[in-house]
Amino acid sequence: MERLQKVIAQSGYCSRREAEKLIKDGKVLVNGEKVSELGVKVNYSDNIMVNGVLLSKEDKVYFILNKPRGYICSASDEKTRKTVIDLIKTDKRIYPVGRLDYNTTGVLLLTNDGELTNLLIHPRSEIEKVYIAKLNKILEINDLKTIEKGVIIDGYKTKRAKLKIRKIDKKKNNCIVEIRIHEGKNHQVKKMFEAVGYDVIKLNRVLFAGLTTYGLKSGEYRKLTVKEVKQLYSLVK
């Protein structure tokens, strides 16, 4: 179940803010009944009519992008900074599944499939993500172990993670670490390292839900195959 305004927006009909106004104005029917207050939850299979028009079940599209640095993961109203949506040629109203920070690079899924998006970002799904992080100093083994067991970020204890040191540069006093997690809190990786006293100076996501950027240069993207979409659904259903 999802909020009505979110489902309307995800269908591509309008923005979420516009959907809220349409609901308040009494322009939305759910399975034939008028809904004019916010907060009502619906299923993706419900019949939703806006301004007398049945919401089309728009064809679903799925893209994997190798996100470059310097792009924000926002679908909406961003006037000044470049967004990941600008990189993809489509007439569909797509949005990123979860977020990568402005300067984080790597695997990013974008789609107009609201149901799959919500399933993939739900903590219950425990989708696997692997990042390669460059740290501002060499990671001590006891700190690595502390992160693996869980650290407190924003009052929340992170679940078990798996870390591997990939490279140590003694001269420059930094290192490259692989970190594998099954959660997706805001700025999670940076905060996990910060919790034990390290700064992440570069971050690249190399795996998300079994998808990699294999064959994609920075800024390039491709459509997922039907098989890949089925695999994503099999992870969450």
Q: Which of 219, 209, 230, 1 is nearest to 98 (CA)?
A: 209
How many residues form the binding site for ligand URA (CB under 6 A)? 8
Instruction: Identify the H or E element spanning 108.
Output: strand 105-111
Q: Which stretch binds ligand URA (CB under 6 A): 25-33, 44-52, 109-117, 186-194?
A: 186-194
| Known catalytic residue at 101 | yes
Please give the Cα distance from 77 to 96 (Å, whole number): 14
Angle, in degrees to the nearest 10, between helices 114-121 and 226-236: 50
Does position 100 bind ligand URA by CB under 6 A? yes
What pairs with residue 185 in β-bridges? none
Q: Residue 12 or 98: which CB sits closer to ligand URA?
A: 98
Q: Which of residues 121-180 bind ligand URA (CB under 6 A)?
A: none
CB of 81 to ligand URA, least distance (A): 15
Q: Considering the candidates 25, 86, 91, 101, report the single residue annotated as catalytic.
A: 101
What pairs with residue 131 in β-bridges? 179, 205
Distances (CA, A) of 209 to 118, 128, 162: 14, 5, 16
Q: Which stretch binds ligand URA (CB under 6 A): 84-92, 114-122, 153-161, 181-189?
A: 181-189
Which residue ranges make up the site for ligand URA (CB under 6 A)? 100-101, 104, 187-190, 203
Catalytic positions, written as ranges: 101
